[in-house]
Amino acid sequence: MKNLIQCPTCVKNTFDCKTCNGLGLVDQELYEQLRALANKLRTETQIPLQYFAVSTLFLVNVSLTENPDHNQVYAVYKFDEINNYFKVDALTVNVPAKDAEHVAVALLEFINQPMSEYESEIRAYDDQLTIEELESFKMRFSHFEASY
């Protein structure tokens, strides 16, 4: 059984909350995973194309530099029901005004929103990965990472 905690976004008004979909509660284990990932992304500069997979998300570092003084940007892909990952957004993780909590909440919102909410973004980005392409990317990245 999942342990639930109070939604980090809404306190009393859960009606329009995208973080918990109006439930007022979120999965504690998932939220803690997202907080740990958000903290890592904010405090450690990753190499180009470094990726992270959590729940239904696949994040790829699309930053052009390893310089921590520059924006560190991740393409956010979301898994759909027919085994494809669609790019739904790009997330800058080291914006000074945002802390790890903000990044974790953003990731939780991506996870909790249905794919239908991202139709315009999917059309605009026109970027998808099949499971086969994803596995191929992971293999190419491991070769890149080893030679980096």
- What confidence tens digit (pLDDT) does each residue in 89-137 have? 999 998 887 789 999 999 999 999 999 999 999 999 999 999 999 999 9
pTM over 0.85: yes
Query: Under a CB-based contact definition with an 8 Å cutoff, are residues 88 and 122 in contact?
Result: yes
pLDDT band at 73 (very low <50, low <70, confident <90, very high): very high
State the Cα–Cα distance between residues 5 and 43, nearest whole angstrom. 25
Question: Which strands, in side-by-side order, build the sheet including 128-130?
Answer: 51-54, 57-61, 73-79, 84-92, 128-130
Residue with tokens 């392409």: 133
Give the DSSP H/E element, type plus range, for residue 104. Answer: helix 100-112
- Supply the DSSP symbol for 59: E
Q: What angle do CA 109, 59, 144 make, to 5 degrees?
A: 175
